[in-house]
């Protein structure tokens, strides 16, 4: 599970297995109709998608880092982020333990 490279997660079979429900829910958001349903009632949508309580809590808290650590793929995390109006940069900065402002300051833009 803990295969890492330079502080980054290597998305392997163990992670894919653990994160399967969360990843499947995120994948469903590639449908505009599903995005609307999710945005209308996140809790009901996640319950119907079979997410466990802890997984629902990660989404409710917008805990992008926690989702990755739970086995979500970064490519699927950003679909959940997109549906709730968070950008890739917000997600990335969060996974680095920074605010967006701190990230911009470090990158110099």
Partner 1 sequence: MGRIIGGIGSSHAPSIGTARDKGLQDDPLWAPLFDGYKPARAWLDQVRPDLFLIVYNDHMNRFFFDAYPTFALGVGDVHAQADEGWGKRALPDLPGHPDFAWHLARSLVEDEFDPTICQDMAVDHGVLSFLPLLTDTHWPVPVVPLAVNVIQHPLPTARRLFKLGAALRHAVETYPGDLRVVVMGTGGLSHQLHGGNFGRVNPEWDNRFMDLLETNPAELAALPHRDWMERGGTEGIEMILWLAMRGALAPEVRRLHRNYCAPLLTGYGLLALADQQVA
Pick the stretch among 8-16, 39-47, 48-56 that binds partner 1 (CB under 8 A): 8-16
Q: Are 79 and 26 in contact (CB under 8 A)?
A: yes
Least Cβ distance, residue 105 to partner 1 (angstroms): 12
Torsion angle (degrees, nearest 10) of CA 42, 26, 57, 2: 180
Minimal CA–CA distance to 95: which of 59, 66, 60, 71? Answer: 66
Least separation in angstroms between residue 82's CB and partner 1 is 5
Q: Is 73 in the site for partner 1 (CB under 8 A)?
A: yes
82 contributes a contact to partner 1 by CB under 8 A: yes
Q: Is 70 in the site for partner 1 (CB under 8 A)?
A: no
């Amino acid at each position: 599970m803990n295969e890492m490279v330079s502080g980054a997660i290597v998305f392997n079979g163990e992670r894919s297995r653990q994160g399967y429900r969360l990843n499947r829910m995120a994948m469903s958001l590639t449908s505009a109709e599903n995005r609307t349903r999710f945005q209308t009632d996140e809790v009901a949508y996640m319950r119907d998608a079979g997410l466990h309580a802890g997984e629902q809590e990660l989404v409710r808290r917008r805990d992008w880092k926690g989702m990755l650590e739970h086995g979500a793929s970064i490519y699927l995390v950003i679909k959940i982020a997109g549906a709730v109006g968070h950008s890739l940069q917000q997600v990335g900065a969060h996974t680095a333990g920074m605010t967006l402002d701190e990230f911009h300051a470090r990158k110099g833009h």
